[in-house]
Amino acid sequence: MYKSYNQIFIGFLLTIFHINIGPLQILPPFVGLLIMFFAIYRLYNISQIKDFRISYKLIAVAILLSLIYTIITFSYNILGNFYYYMASILPSIVYLLFIFYLINGSIKLFDNCWERNILLLRVFTVFHLLTLAISVVLISKFAFNILTLTSLLILINYLIVAYLLYFYRKIAKMDMLSE
Amino acid sequence: MELNKNILKYGSIFLVLLILFSTIYYSINRIDNYVFIKTYAEYRLYNPSQSFDLYLIMNGDNLNYLYNEFTNNPLVEILTEDGEKILTSGYLTSPRNNGRYVLVSLEINSHFMFAYDKLKFNKIKLYSNNLKGEKTSKIYDIGELVLINEYDSDLDSNINVRVNDQYSDKPYISIGDIITIDSIDEYLETDIVDTMVDGKDYHDLLGKKFGYENLFIDFKVKDKDSLIFLDRKINYTIDNGIDDSGKNSFSLYFDRKLEDVFSNYQENTIKEYLRKVGEF
């Protein structure tokens, strides 16, 4: 279990940090997602919690979308500005969903060992939905450069998820040691 | 946990509806863009030395969401509603950092235009034939341009601006007219022109230089008071980035008061402005 959470944590970090050389991404997000996919799949096999099953299936979708978007970005914007930006919202929705089910499954797995889990997940969900809604509105107004305004919310989201995953990793480690 | 799931469920539904609404709104709203282009074009009508040449400069950056960016340097044809082709004297495209082209300026020779009925060229559709090197021979509709024949226009909103370039052999360089569009062109490759009036800085006037010959100035007017000085001589200094002594100076002379144009000016909002010009 510790190994799974460790991989999920590393995978998550890899999805956050992007290293680009021109249009070419050295570390495309789907590498991190792939690591997370196998880790969550293993977690589901161990725990048989339904939420993990939903989560890894959603990650599979996210990997597919990530691959498509990597190719599209590499071969320039073929969809036109508006539709391209609007379509790029889609992976963010999938991202929200699989993180939600991952955290929700983890809460069940550790039997809600920390009450703030649920609250933090709520904050993440609300912030993420808010960020996406703002993004959609801003894209519609053609104010692409104001999209950076939403980056604060995204940052908070990343911190919440990273913190939660780190927390579960720690709990899983303690479980492993006690066994 | 149930609350979280409900938030996710209803939030997602709301988001999907918002995306659908935005996409539909955008698709419908595009149809009205000709008013925007018209306004933009109209205020860039330039009539040097009272000749019949209309010089139209479109800021490709501001219109980049109306226009496609082209993989190749586009071939531009201007067609009237009747399908008749109006000859262009020339057009200028700007390659972007991403290797794509945007239509920056378009010169329409009014000798040809006056040969047509004015109603015909009140609506001109621009097509770009983006053929060469492309697998498909798509014709992109890059927008609808509505021009007002200045001799038939009641608006009389064209302002002739003449520029004396003391460092150039050319008698004038073309200048665009008033624009109140509040846009951020941070990624447009232009030189910003410092605006000095009688030695005083006016930050609400911004000039942009497109190459050497095409200088046009965006007048971002914050309030009516700042229009007062526009009928006076204004010295512009273009910073070439060399040093202070290497600056080129231009003197602008306005043929008529800009205040006249903005006599009904109330708010510096693009919507108000579009509405005003759009009714003709």
Report mean pLDDT in 10-residue bins for chain B, 280 residues: 84 88 68 37 32 32 37 55 52 54 49 41 45 36 38 30 29 27 28 42 41 35 36 34 37 33 32 28
Q: What is the distance between the alpha carbons of residues B233 and B178, in angstroms, rounded to a whole number?
A: 16
The reported pLDDT for the residue numbered B101 is 56
Mutation for testing the B interface, residue in A121, A127, A134 having most B CBs under 10 Å: A121
Q: Tell me the shortest Cα–Cα distance from A145 to chain B, in angstroms.
A: 9
Alpha-carbon distance of B66 to B1, in angstroms, equals 45
One-letter amino acid of B94? S
**Average per-residue pLDDT for chain A:** 78
User: Is the pLDDT reported for residue A169 higher than 60?
Assistant: yes
Q: β-strand B234-238 against B191-197: which pairing, if any?
A: antiparallel
Cα–Cα dist A24/B104, whole Å: 29
**Residues of chain B positioned with their CB less than 8 A from the CB of A132:** 15
Cβ atoms of B153 and B280 within 8 Å: the answer is yes
Do residues A98 and A58 touch, judged by C-beta distance below 8 A? yes
Sign of CA dihedral A97, A101, A103, A107: positive
Give the gap in angstroms from C-alpha B43 to the nearest C-alpha of chain A: 22
What is the model's pLDDT at position B70? Answer: 52
Tokens found for residue A91: 């992976």
Question: Given an 8 Å threshold on Cβ–Cβ distance, is B25 in contact with A140?
Answer: yes
Q: Which residues of B touch A89 (CB under 8 A)?
A: 19
Residue A150 has pLDDT above 50, yes or no: yes
Residue type, A120: L
CA B5 to chain centre: 49
Query: What pLDDT sits at residue A30?
Result: 77
Find the residue in B nearest to A88 (Cα): B19
A83 with B68: Cβ contact below 8 A? no
What's the rounded mean pLDDT across residues A110-115?
Answer: 76
Which segment of A52-56, A82-86, B133-137 scores lowest on mean pLDDT?
Answer: B133-137
Q: Are B265 and B224 in contact (CB under 8 A)?
A: yes
Q: Are strands B124-129 and B139-145 parallel, antiparallel or unpaired?
A: antiparallel
Nearest Cα neighbor of B187 from B97, B107, B106 is: B97
For residue A134, the model assigns a pLDDT of 82
Which helix (H) or strand (E) segment holds residue A100: the answer is: helix A89-109
Percent of chain A at pLDDT above 90? Answer: 4
CA dist., res. A17 & res. B142, Å (int)? 37
Quick one: residue A17, left, alpha or beta (phi over 0 = left, psi -120 to 50 = alpha)? beta
In this prediction, residue A23 has a pLDDT band, given cuts at 50, 70 and 90, of low
Is residue A134 within 8 A of residue A149, CB to CB? The reply is yes
Q: B22–A140: do the CB atoms touch at under 8 Å?
A: yes
* Beta carbons of B15 and A133 less than 8 Å apart: yes
CB contact under 8 A, B18 and A136: yes
Element (H, E) at B195: strand B191-197
Q: How many helices (H) and strands (E) does chain A have?
A: 7, 2
Q: CB–CB of A93/A132 below 8 Å? A: yes
ipTM over 0.85: no
pLDDT of residue A12: 86
Query: What is the pLDDT, as a whole number, of residue B98?
Result: 56
Among the residue ranges A4-8, A24-28, A136-140, B48-52, the one predicted with the least confidence is B48-52
Ramachandran category for residue B167: left, alpha or beta (phi over 0 → left; psi -120 to 50 → alpha): alpha
Q: Which residue has the higher pLDDT, A173 or B184?
A: A173
* A45, pLDDT greater than 60: yes
- Sign of torsion over alpha carbons B233, B239, B243, B249: negative
Residues 113-152 of A with CB under 8 A from B: 118, 121-122, 125-126, 129, 132-133, 136-137, 139-140, 142, 145
A89 and B19 within 8 Å at the Cβ level: the answer is yes
| Encoded tokens for B14 | 């709301």
Residues 6+ apart with CB under 8 A from B206: B192, B193, B195, B217, B218, B219, B220
Across the range A16-36, mean pLDDT stands at: 72
Query: Which residue(s) pair with B78 in the sheet?
Result: B86, B126
pLDDT at position B166, please? Answer: 31
Residues 17-56 on A with a CB inside 8 Å of B are none
How big is chain A, counted in residues? 179
